[in-house]
Structure 1
Amino acid sequence: MSAFIRRSAAVVAGTTVFGIALAGCVGGGSSGTGDAASIDTSKATGTVEYWLWDNNQKAAYQQCADDFHAANPDVTVNITQYSWDDYWTKITNGFVSGTGPDVFTDHLSKYADFINNNQLVALDDVVAKDGIDLSQYTDGLADLWVGQDGKRYGLPKDWDTIAIFYNQDLVSAGGYSAEQLADLQWNPEDGGTYEEAIAHLTVDANGVRGDEPGFDKTRVAVYGLGLDNQSGGGIGQTQWSMYSGSTGWEYMDENPWGTKYNYDDERFQSTIGWMADLIEKGYMPSVAEVTGGDSTQTFGAGKYAMITNGSWNINSFFGLSGVDVGIAPTPMGPDGKRASMFNGLADSIWAGSKNKDAAAAWVEYLGSADCQNVIGAAGVVFPAIPSGAEAAAAAFQSRGIDVTPFTQQVADETTFLSPISDNAAKIAGIMTPAVDAVMEGKADPSSLTSANEQVNALFGQ
């Protein structure tokens, strides 16, 4: 089932932060994994290996590790950070080889497969034994980390949404104001005023704009809209989900734990077809151009007027040298609303950890207000505990960064969940090349129906 959002006012230094309620759906079926009954956090000693993928957050988490060590001198936390792509490869290889981390940052699209492969420790006994208050988290986030077997596999750490980062100089040169960007409309047929803006903000090597006669799509100097590193495959969090989500389309028959995907739906296929048209017209780079690249740095080099991306990258964009960055909300869609994927991360314990006592103690600290307030004050992400999110909002505001386009999605109840189901890796293996082919003009959007049949066959559909 879809997420729903409930506003609860919490104002800090003039910035409003919104509490979130999600309609979680917990079923039964899959078998649980690591035994937590024998874990005793009061006996925690030794070193905990902790992995994360976001370099922007590493310093703040190091502060949490230092504070944790000061309070628990018999435990040391060693933090290792890898890039997103390397991270999951190393996690998988580490689990297989027996060299995985004790604790790691987990993702909603990944943890179902980890559960099914007996790679996670269920935390229910630890939570009950140590009296962890799950109501301290923003409404609904804790429920997302309960598997189909009814067991808990993570404690929430943060949440995120999607918005548009734009180059203020390029946008102003194109005659657009911040107010105009905030009022753009989109549809998959002709792209609406959103595509009009994308076309006008595209400029070729001769200075001709995308909507002017003589535009040379083979020699583009500035794309009106950037593409974030790849096509997005079957999830498209930062690439296309904000568009498909505004058509009323949903990934599955229910979310979490659906068993029938909807990639055969015309609303999804027309969205991907529209993306392909942007590439064909020269308004957006091709998948081949961006694969393996760094979209933030490309934006920083003045190659993109706009790009859709997540709240976790606010500091990356605003840290770019020589670029005046703004943030705009995603466009209004055919249903008259904006849309954004709502994602929440958690920390999980690897079932192969040799130091589960200390690992559990560290997970509890990561999930506490003591740590999450530190993360919030660093102004990097929005922590799962409201006080941490309030601290983050205040930190961004103090640096002159208006994060309203990210919190607006929450306030307006326009978010939806990342798909949470079994077979995530296999689905990615099917949908990534299928979506790539459409965006590269090598296949018709209708070909996604065949890909959808392969996906649903994984669930016996």
Structure 2
Amino acid sequence: MITRTLALASLAAGLGVMAQATEIRYVLWDSNQLPAYQQCAADFTAANPDITVKITQSGWDDYWTALSTGFVSGTAPDVFTNHLAKYPEFAKNNQLVDLSDWVARDGVDTSLYSGGLYDIWGRDAAQFGLPKDWDTIAMIVNMDMAEAAGITLEELNNMSWNPQDGGSFEQIVRKLTIDENGNNALSADFDADNVAVYGYQNPGSGGMMGQTEWGHFAVSNGFTYQPEPWDGEFNYDSPKLAETLEYLARMPEEGLSASFQDTRSLGSDSMFVAGKAAIVPNGSWMINYFDNNVKGNYQWIPLPIGPTGQRATMFNGLADSIWTGSKHKEEAWQWVKYLGSADCQSVVAEKGVVFPAIDGMAEKTTQAHQARGIDSSAFLTMANANTFLAPIADNGARINEAMENAVQTILLGKDDAQDALDKANKKILRYNR
């Protein structure tokens, strides 16, 4: 009887501990990253049995809709994956917890994070997120098509570009562009109205960032987005951006790329997978998607060298933030701190999904890729090139809308590039005055 009583008491105590555990709700949008963070959550709870983590994943559009609805209804998650394009308005609306006191209290070594990733998530001494990863842009090439066209990997790795004649980049694109009769775009018999394979495919318009669409071309051409982060003055009326967008708009006219309308409906990623496009630019977050879906031989290559004499890429990074409406802020902070730690980011690196924010972890990711036969070194090459942070300022949604509309009119051939950008930039400057 005594033994049974003790056993029941022990069980009750155990149930009491379980009942007292605080559940932190955490959301992310990338299904590829879910397994890594589920492992991080299990490891975290093992070390902190009084805190459990419930992770929910949803697609990009649904993610932000649900988050905005949750802010209004009071049902938002405690912690969420945040994006630079979104966080200024969240911070302005007092929806993000300032982490700076906790960072100081717990002695978090922010120097561990790759250049600029920590600072960009802060403003006026407040800190709204801890960095979780970084990404750069590269180009994926159908190597079966390249070899058939007599193009070597060395040529691909050393392409140069300019907005006047396209440089060696355009010559390669022309060799890879094939019409229905088998003629490439260097041939006098090439039929630009009946193209079977496009040599290059621009993903779309890109809004205020142009992260995969035009930012790398424009910056390698001498364009800068703004004088510094949070500066309300933008340079979207720069002639360097105008001639870059004019060049991209000209490619469909010459049959080198699909039209903006077709790309919008088909998607450049799907076109590459289906063998309808030979070269497509994309971010390091898409490495696993292409490896899982491309059937033939492919290769990631660095972006072309521009007129500045440099390659250029946006160096972007996500962070984890805490909602001001959370009823468990201290526990949420412990989870955010763990997400930004070497312990969790090492797990993420070993899964080979993204490049973690902590310096030195990227090599673990490339090793994980190599073990699966993936060469992701082009993204590291770009990380050591001319990198630039995403543009960031108040009224980001309105800025993005203005640029989205302007770039679309240019790519659709409905407006002169310089005129469209002049009008958009004037509108944007009014937003921030």
When normalised by structure 1's length, the TM-score is 0.86
Q: Quick check: 2:242–2:417 contact (8 Å CA) kept in 1? A: yes
Alignment length (residue pairs): 413
Question: Counterpart in 2 of 1:429?
Answer: 401
AA in 2 matched with 1:104: F
Q: Quick check: 1:244–1:268 contact (8 Å CA) kept in 2? A: yes
Question: Counterpart in 1 of 2:91?
Answer: 115
4+ residue stretches of structure 1 with deviation over 4 A?
Answer: none
Residue 131 of structure 2 corresponds to residue 156 of structure 1: yes
| Matches of 2:274 and 2:222, distance apart in 1 | 35
Cα drift, residue 292 of structure 1: 5.2
Deviates more, 1:371-380 or 1:63-72: 63-72
Question: Counterpart in 2 of 1:78?
Answer: 54
Q: Quick check: 1:123–1:151 contact (8 Å CA) kept in 2? A: yes
Q: Quick check: 2:202–2:248 contact (8 Å CA) kept in 1? A: no
What do residues 377-410 of structure 1 show as CA deviations (whole Å, max 9, x unaligned)? 1111110112432321221222232222211123
Which structure is larger by alpha-carbon Rg, 1 or 2?
Answer: 2
Q: Which residue, 404, 410, 415 being the options, matches 1:438? A: 410
Q: Which residue, 272, 291, 301 being the options, matches 2:264? A: 291
| Matches of 2:281 and 2:383, distance apart in 1 | 17
Cα drift, residue 129 of structure 1: 2.4
Give the direction of change, closer, same or farther, for the CA distance of 1:86–1:212 in structure 2 (3 Å limit): farther
Which structure has more helix as a fraction of its residues?
2
Question: Counterpart in 2 of 1:238?
Answer: 212
| Matches of 2:295 and 2:366, distance apart in 1 | 24
Q: Which residue, 184, 189, 194 being the options, matches 1:219? A: 194
| Matches of 2:224 and 2:248, distance apart in 1 | 18
Residue 303 of structure 2 corresponds to residue 358 of structure 1: no
| Matches of 1:295 and 1:145, distance apart in 2 | 31
Q: Secondary structure at the match of 1:165?
A: strand
Cα drift, residue 435 of structure 1: 0.3
Deviates more, 1:116-125 or 1:380-389: 380-389
Deviates more, 1:173-182 or 1:400-409: 400-409
Residue 180 of structure 2 corresponds to residue 208 of structure 1: no
| Matches of 1:80 and 1:303, distance apart in 2 | 35
AA in 2 matched with 1:317: F
AA in 2 matched with 1:313: M
Question: Counterpart in 2 of 1:267?
Answer: 240
Q: Secondary structure at the match of 1:322?
A: coil
| Matches of 1:292 and 1:116, distance apart in 2 | 35
Question: Counterpart in 2 of 1:343?
Answer: 316
Cα drift, residue 207 of structure 1: 1.8
Q: Secondary structure at the match of 1:386?
A: coil
Deviates more, 1:58-67 or 1:206-215: 206-215
Cα drift, residue 125 of structure 1: 1.7
Question: Counterpart in 1 of 2:291?
Answer: 318
What do residues 64-110 of structure 1 show as CA deviations (whole Å, max 9, x unaligned)? 11111222223222222222233223222222222222111111222
AA in 1 matched with 2:317: G
Q: Quick check: 1:369–1:387 contact (8 Å CA) kept in 2? A: no
| Matches of 2:335 and 2:268, distance apart in 1 | 33
What do residues 416-443 of structure 1 show as CA deviations (whole Å, max 9, x unaligned)? 1110111111101111011011001111
Q: Which residue, 158, 162, 169 being the options, matches 1:183? A: 158
Cα drift, residue 450 of structure 1: 0.6
Structure 1: 5+ residue stretches without partners: 1-43
Q: Secondary structure at the match of 1:309?
A: strand
Cα drift, residue 198 of structure 1: 1.3
Cα drift, residue 294 of structure 1: 4.3
Q: Which residue, 348, 353, 356 being the options, matches 1:383? A: 356
| Matches of 1:359 and 1:209, distance apart in 2 | 57
What do residues 200-253 of structure 1 show as CA deviations (whole Å, max 9, x unaligned)? 21112222222222323332221111232x31122110011110010121001x
Question: Counterpart in 2 of 1:453?
Answer: 426
Matches within 5 A, 1:40-59: 45-59=21-35
| Matches of 1:90 and 1:294, distance apart in 2 | 24
Matches within 5 A, 1:326-341: 326-341=299-314
Cα drift, residue 164 of structure 1: 0.6
| Matches of 1:350 and 1:429, distance apart in 2 | 26
Q: Quick check: 1:317–1:325 contact (8 Å CA) kept in 2? A: no
Deviates more, 1:433-442 or 1:402-411: 402-411
Give the direction of change, closer, same or farther, for the CA distance of 1:89–1:205 in structure 2 (3 Å limit): farther
Q: Quick check: 2:208–2:391 contact (8 Å CA) kept in 1? A: no
Deviates more, 1:129-138 or 1:334-343: 129-138
Give the direction of change, closer, same or farther, for the CA distance of 1:45–1:295 in structure 2 (3 Å limit): farther
Q: Secondary structure at the match of 1:227?
A: coil
Q: Secondary structure at the match of 1:327?
A: strand
| Matches of 1:294 and 1:82, distance apart in 2 | 20
AA in 2 matched with 1:395: A
AA in 1 matched with 2:214: W
Question: Counterpart in 2 of 1:27?
Answer: none
Structure 2: 5+ residue stretches without partners: 1-19
Q: Quick check: 1:255–1:417 contact (8 Å CA) kept in 2? A: no
Task: Kindly report the root-mean-square deviation, in angstroms, between the aligned alpha carbons of the 2 structures.
Answer: 1.6
% identical equivalent positions: 48
Question: Counterpart in 2 of 1:192?
Answer: 167
Residue 103 of structure 2 corresponds to residue 127 of structure 1: yes
| Matches of 1:457 and 1:134, distance apart in 2 | 35
Cα drift, residue 175 of structure 1: 1.4
| Matches of 1:215 and 1:352, distance apart in 2 | 61
Residue 392 of structure 2 corresponds to residue 420 of structure 1: yes
AA in 2 matched with 1:73: P
| Matches of 2:21 and 2:223, distance apart in 1 | 49
